[in-house]
Structure 1
Amino acid sequence: MVKSLGSLAELETELKAAGDKLVVIDFSATWCGPCKMIKPFFHELVEKYNNVVFLEVDVDDAQDVAEHCQIKCMPTFLFYKNGKRVKEFSGANKEKLVESIHELM
């Protein structure tokens, strides 16, 4: 299951709880076409990678999280390991998303 984050406090809690697991966060918006296109694929990844934590943030609902993470466009994917950001990219690129997960696991 992909957990939806609504606040900066929730982000910090999830990053701590993940420990040394890879955390992938999808920053999106309901009005964003490419976000809608990749969302089902992002949700499918949960089934394939049970040792990865998948989170999502609606930039309109959680503006504090988007600002803190310096999100400029959607979709943007952030990757964290041990509480530190290790990679990011923007765009609805399925191949790059999977490659990034494999690279960082």
Structure 2
Amino acid sequence: MFTRTRFVTHRLSHVAGRKFGSSYSQIPKLSSLQEFQEQILDSKNGVKVIDFYATWCGPCKAMTPHISKMMQEYPSVDFYKVDVDQAMDVARSCDISAMPTFMLVKDGRITSKVVGANPAALENGIKDTL
């Protein structure tokens, strides 16, 4: 049963990646606390969404097509991603304890977080932050 579940999940994410992956793959990846500070907190212009994810996380993969769609619907919003396994210092400093977690930032100030794979909550968070 577990093997089949993994196969189905892998297959669905592979299909989603082909259809929507190009937008998501273009999201800048933040790899260090210094980079996060410079790009997100020190930048005082606009709305930013940071996707804290893990490569092994099924719900994170399920959010990929939704994020790609939001990138097209909200072109004024800058999207970034942080792999929590590669940038543990960033995840720790932002108190990330579950994946996916989406942090919304406006003009260098953290406005809210959306924890879990909840496309509606993320979109509402973006609308409220704009």
Separation in 2, partners of 1:40, 1:12 = 27
Separation in 2, partners of 1:12, 1:102 = 24
Tell me what 1:85 maps to: 110
Unpaired runs of 5+ residues, structure 1, are: none
TM-score, reference length from structure 1: 0.92
Separation in 2, partners of 1:67, 1:43 = 26
Separation in 2, partners of 1:104, 1:95 = 14
Unpaired runs of 5+ residues, structure 2, are: 1-25
Separation in 2, partners of 1:63, 1:14 = 17
When the two chains are superposed, the root-mean-square deviation of aligned CA atoms in Å is 1.2
Q: CA deviation at 1:10?
A: 0.9
51, 60, 69: which one aligns with 2:94: 69
Separation in 2, partners of 1:44, 1:3 = 16
Percent of pairs with identical residues? 39
Structure with greater strand share of residues? 1
1:24 matched to 2:53? The reply is: no
What SS does the aligned partner of 2:86 have? coil
Larger radius of gyration: 2
39, 49, 64: which one aligns with 1:39: 64
Count of equivalent residues: 104
Identify which range, 43-52 or 22-31, moves more after superposition. Answer: 43-52
Separation in 1, partners of 2:50, 2:76 = 14
What SS does the aligned partner of 2:51 have? strand
Structure with greater helix share of residues? 2
Query: Contact 1:2–1:43 (CA<8 Å) still a contact in 2?
Result: no
TM-score, reference length from structure 2: 0.75
Runs of 4+ in 1 over 3 A off after TM superposition: none
